[in-house]
Amino acid sequence: MSNVLVVGSVALDSVETPFGRADEVLGGSGTYFAASASHFAPVQMVGVVGSDYPVERLTPLAERHVDLAGLERADGESFRWRGRYRHDLNAAETLETRLGVFSHFHPKIPTQFRNAPFVFLANIDPRLQLDVLQQVEKPKLVACDTMNFWIESRRNEFLELLGFVDVLLLNDAEARQLSEQANLVKAARWIRERGPSFVVIKKGEHGAYMFGPHAVFFAPAYPLEDVFDPTGAGDSFAGGFIGYLARTGHTDEQAMRRGVIYGSTMGSFAVERFSIERLLDIERVDIARRLEEFRKLVAFEEDLPE
């Protein structure tokens, strides 16, 4: 089993959905990723919180093999995000973003984290993502996420970063924005030509495509009756995906396919409750059961009539 290093945000979220609201709950890409990936492999987390962060609420993560030695405590306010989902649960409406100490974040990778074989660069400034890669020692696999803001404002740095990335995860709108291709097959090819062997295009409730060197793979989203809060679904997906790869140590096509299914599985749990509540609640048997549901969801026997 290999370690997974994640560098991302650790935030306090306040979220309103058609089903309820939560105030100042654990959030951030690093937090969701770690909660998800820790079901599969030991996680080493790097991030920053302010002096007001309720770090004791991270204890459940520490108890599940998330090493918080890279979590810096800085003077000032923690990163806070306030958002709302209306009936289209695919689209978050950001009401307020207060970066706080996150705006001066300079990831420092602790010495004992630098040889992590699996690295996930969550959605932060591409310059910081590049900086992280200079601090680590030849990881077996580097995966990375991003967002529209960086694609627009740090395009050159992001393109430079792509050259060092094995797996890029992004949503369909971001793939189109980055490649300037409306068609996702063409968008994925454009991106793959710039570095990543695998491009995972997430489509929210419409599932995810993985484009690789030899084939395309598709995983549907689990048809949930109640999507409670979509926040963190993408980072939980990444956590299941990269966490699974780290557990097995494999990065071949079959492992990547299974990784995407584990990613979809973890994403489907994350949205069942606020924050990382559900991710902390589930056990191995729940994951196995939902994986079996995913298998059944797409299973058909071939039988071309003569």
In the range 185-224, which residues lie near a second copy by CB under 8 A? 185-186, 203, 206-207, 209, 215-220, 223-224
CA of 137: how far to CAs of 40, 113, 235, in Å?
Answer: 22, 9, 24
Q: Which stretch binds a second copy (CB under 8 A): 51-59, 123-131, 157-165, 177-185?
A: 177-185
184 binds a second copy (CB under 8 A): yes
180 binds a second copy (CB under 8 A): no
Minimum distance, C-beta of residue 247 to a second copy, in the bound complex (Å): 5
Backbone angles phi, psi at 285, to 5 degrees: -65, -35
Q: Which stretch binds a second copy (CB under 8 A): 70-78, 228-236, 271-279, 280-288?
A: 280-288
Q: How far apart are CA 287 and CA 290, in angstroms?
A: 5
CA of 156: how far to CAs of 136, 142, 147, 224, 293, in Å?
Answer: 22, 19, 14, 39, 42
The site string for a second copy over 31-70 (x = CB under 8 A, - otherwise) reads ---------x------------------------------
DSSP labels, 175-218: HHHHHT-SSHHHHHHHHHTTS-SEEEEE-GGG-EEEE-SS-EEE
75 binds a second copy (CB under 8 A): no
Beta carbons within 8 Å of 265's beta carbon, 6+ residues apart: 222, 240, 287, 290, 291, 294
| Terminal alpha carbon distance of the chain | 48
298 binds a second copy (CB under 8 A): yes
Q: Which stretch binds a second copy (CB under 8 A): 65-73, 131-139, 228-236, 283-291?
A: 283-291
Judge whether 259 and 241 are in contact, CB under 8 Å.
yes
261 binds a second copy (CB under 8 A): yes
87 binds a second copy (CB under 8 A): yes
Given 93, 183, 252, 281, the residue binding a second copy (CB under 8 A): 183
Q: Which residues contact a second copy (rule: CB under 8 A)?
A: 40, 87, 182-186, 203, 206-207, 209, 215-220, 223-227, 244, 247-248, 254, 257-258, 260-261, 284, 287-288, 291-292, 295-305
